[in-house]
């Protein structure tokens, strides 16, 4: 025989029930507590996408929708970075070849754009032709680093910052600067 005697709790022992009730109350209290919110400041929610082997992103607050295999209508006599226009439920939206804007060479797209991001800001809409969409990312704005100083100034004005994700740098676009840029606001003819 062992020196330890097993202890049995019977229903007749009110002290055991009180102990369990207290334990359950304590667990319920702990589980019902709302964790304190992080005081890290502003958060960035962005859709990442691929363009010429590089990773870029746009903030979700500017993204109206995404389209795959979007048919484009090419227009004669337009600026080189305008890939065409797309019909979005009866509204013609200009589609910008983001590769040319960012100095990555002309897109190979024909009459179909592999993926299109429709951006909206203060009633203005603009679509960006990209290679493919990737993931939705959420990170503290304080983790966003300024664009590298070695970046071409023509390209850097459209980059809000860079963020390291999955071991790769994601260039977060400054959508407000893109939409406000006069090159995208109604130019329809190439310069001679």
Domains along the chain? 43-184 (2.40.50.180)
pLDDT of res. 113: 79
Rounded to two decimals, what is the model's pTM? 0.70
Question: What pLDDT is attached to residue 83?
Answer: 80
The pLDDT value recorded for residue 162 is: 92
6, pLDDT greater than 60:
no
Task: Please compute the mean of the pLDDT values over residues 47-59 and round it to a whole number.
Answer: 91
CB neighbours (10 Å) of residue 47?
Answer: 19
d(CA 81, CA 96): 6
Strand partners, 63: 119
Distance of CA 151 to the CA centre of its chain: 22
pLDDT at 175 over 80: yes
Mean predicted lDDT score pLDDT of the chain: 78
Residue 12 has pLDDT above 50, yes or no: no
Contacts of 136 (CB under 8 A, 6+ apart): 45, 46, 47, 48, 60
Burial of 84 per CB tally in 10 Å (0-12, 13-18, 19+)? buried
Q: How many residues does the chain have?
A: 192
């Amino acid at each position: 025989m062992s020196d330890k005697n097993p202890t049995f709790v019977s229903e007749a022992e009110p002290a055991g029930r009180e102990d369990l009730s207290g334990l359950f109350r304590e667990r319920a209290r702990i589980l019902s507590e709302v964790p304190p919110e992080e005081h890290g400041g502003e958060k960035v929610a962005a859709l990442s996408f691929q363009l010429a082997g590089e990773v870029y992103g746009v903030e979700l607050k500017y993204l109206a929708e995404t389209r795959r295999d979007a048919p484009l209508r090419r227009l004669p006599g337009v600026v080189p970075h305008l890939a065409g226009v797309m019909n979005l439920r009866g509204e013609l939206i200009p589609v910008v070849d983001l590769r040319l804007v960012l100095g990555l060479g002309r897109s190979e797209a024909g009459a179909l754009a592999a993926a299109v991001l429709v951006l909206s800001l203060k009633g203005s809409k603009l679509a960006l032709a990209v290679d493919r969409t990737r993931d939705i990312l959420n990170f503290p704005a304080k983790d966003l680093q300024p664009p590298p100083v070695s970046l071409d100034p023509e390209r850097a004005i459209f980059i809000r910052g860079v963020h390291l994700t999955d071991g790769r740098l994601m260039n977060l676009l400054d959508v407000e600067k893109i939409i406000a840029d006069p090159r995208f606001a109604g130019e329809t003819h190439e310069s001679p």
